[in-house]
Amino acid sequence: MSKKVVILTSGKRKNAIARAVLKPGTGKIRVNNIPIKLMQPLLASQKVLEPLILVGPDLYNKVDIDVTVKGGGVISQAEAARTSISKALTQYFDDPQIRQKLLEYDRKILVSDPRRKEPKKPGGRGARAKEQKSYR
């Protein structure tokens, strides 16, 4: 285990951006100043807990994690927080086995999703939709 004091990481999903601060502690995990056990909806809190379950309680009980998330919807925020937490854990513990375990479970857990919304273009309501034209 390394002697790093504080780790700062970020994760993205659609319009949601999460920033995680990991420091030595007793296993407290908070997302936007709300303890992970009280986070609603339940599906979002389970998404955020995935990297912690994969790493195991013996390791994540040694650190405190504070995540701030802005933008996007509930699930996008949860996936961005999940990415930032997993990046922080791999940097803090610096163990290739942890990284390999996370990548085997889901590649998106460590790599932010590069897809973004396509901008709207003239001649229609959206990025691809165009106004219909009549020939008769």
CATH number at residue 47: 3.30.230.10
| Predicted pLDDT of residue 97 | 92
Residue 75 CA to residue 64 CA, distance in Å, equals 22
| Predicted pLDDT of residue 4 | 61
Share of residues in the chain with pLDDT > 90 (%): 70
Domain span including residue 18? 7-109
| Predicted pLDDT of residue 107 | 86
Q: Confirm whether 2 is domain-assigned.
A: no
More confident residue, 112 or 46: 46
Q: How many domains does the chain have?
A: 1
Q: Confirm whether 35 is domain-assigned.
A: yes
| Predicted pLDDT of residue 1 | 52
Q: Confirm whether 74 is domain-assigned.
A: yes
What's the average model confidence in pLDDT over 12-19?
92
Q: Confirm whether 78 is domain-assigned.
A: yes
String of DSSP letters for 38-98: G-SSHHHHHHHHHHHHHH-HHHHTTEEEEEEEESS-HHHHHHHHHHHHHHHHHHHH--HHH
Q: Confirm whether 81 is domain-assigned.
A: yes
Q: Which two tokens stand for residue 60?
A: 């994540």
Which SS3 state, helix, strand or coil, does residue 109 take?
A: helix
- The residue behind tokens 């997993």 is 86
